[in-house]
Amino acid sequence: MSNRTADCIELFSSIQGEGMLVGLRQVFLRFHGCNLSCDYCDTVSPAPPAVCQLEGTPGRRDFLPAANPVALNRIVGILEGWERGWPGLHHSLSLTGGEPLLNHETLQEWLPVLRRQLPIYLETNGVLHSALESVIQHIDHVSMDIKLPSTSNCGDLWDRHREFLRVARDKKLFVKTVIGSCTEEWEISRTCETIAAIDRTIPLILQPVTDREGGVSIPPKLVLELQELACRYLAEVRVIPQTHRFMGQL
Ligand code: SF4
């Protein structure tokens, strides 16, 4: 088994709250650290925590701390136990963060082992295309963000998103983009053109900014107009807010 380690925040079982697999039960492995700094981010802290919280029983929040960085055998031991005790419960293992691909060298060794337990679902900000290329053979699903300047304040990432789409296109792939009351039509057009240049059947999720209580502040009329605009370019455009927020952060 790999000797490589990674700084992680937590490992737990919950319901996927966003995107095309919303509602399915997954195991979430949350990595520390991100290469971006989105205005709406509430997950990234500058320094890794001293410990990673590992759930003992799926969904019971009976966490036990493990010193960071965490070794692969700690993760695999839990997954094996859960697959034995609750066969069929989990659809897949969600690699989330932060940005999991910052750990791509570790993932090259971890993923073949983890994938023996569950299919691999990658949640990514969609810019580290070289890192993705190094692990893409071990990944089943890709949930990729396209960051709009109006909501993320991350600047111009269009070329990097395009390259990322090229690498991810042969996987079960969808794109998610956060929209708010300040989102402009040109941003949705640019997003759709970027996706359609690769494949117009890649689904796009418009995700209204959702506050901690589950409130959505973007006017409904604007959401409908942005969806109508996107449907001129793409075959499948869905509006899905962050459902785990109004279910109490499951
Ligand atoms: S990409 Fe995700 S984790 Fe990184 S800063 Fe943006 S919202 Fe936070």
pLDDT tens-digit readout, 71-108: 999 999 999 999 999 999 999 999 999 999 999 999 99
| CATH number, domain 5-246, options 3.20.20.70, 3.30.70.260, 3.20.20.240, 3.40.50.970 | 3.20.20.70
Distance separating alpha carbons of residues 20 and 181, to the nearest angstrom: 23
Q: What is the largest CA-CA distance in the chain?
A: 53
Q: From the CB of 19, is ligand 1 less than 6 Å away? A: no
Q: In what helix (H) or strand (E) does residue 207 lie, and over which residues does it extend?
A: strand 204-208
User: Which residue type does 28 have?
Assistant: F
Q: From the CB of 98, is ligand 1 less than 6 Å away? A: yes
The average pLDDT across 159-177 equals: 98
Contact at 8 Å (CB) between 242 and 213?
no
Compute the distance from residue 41 Cα to the ligand 1 centre, in Å: 5
Q: Give the whole-number percent of the chain exceeding pLDDT 90.
A: 88
Q: From the CB of 101, is ligand 1 less than 6 Å away? A: no
Order of strands, sheet of 172-179, starting from the edge strand that comes earlier in the sequence: 63-67, 51-55, 8-15, 25-31, 92-96, 120-124, 141-145, 172-179, 204-208, 237-239
Q: Where are the domains of the chain?
A: 5-246
Was 233 annotated as part of a binding site? no
Was 34 annotated as part of a binding site? yes
Q: From the CB of 97, is ligand 1 less than 6 Å away? A: yes
Summarised one tens digit per residue, pLDDT across range 104-123 is 999 999 999 999 999 999 99
Using CA positions, which residue lies closest to atom 8 of ligand 1?
41
Q: From the CB of 37, is ligand 1 less than 6 Å away? A: yes
Summarised one tens digit per residue, pLDDT across range 1-56 is 889 999 999 999 999 999 999 999 999 999 999 999 998 887 767 899 999 999 99
Was 182 annotated as part of a binding site? no
Was 42 annotated as part of a binding site? yes
- For the cut 90, the answer to whether the pLDDT of residue 210 exceeds it is no
Which of 208 and 243 is assigned the larger pLDDT? 208
Query: Which mutation among 10, 28, 34, 122 tests ligand 1's pocket best, with the greatest number of atoms within 8 A of CB?
Result: 34
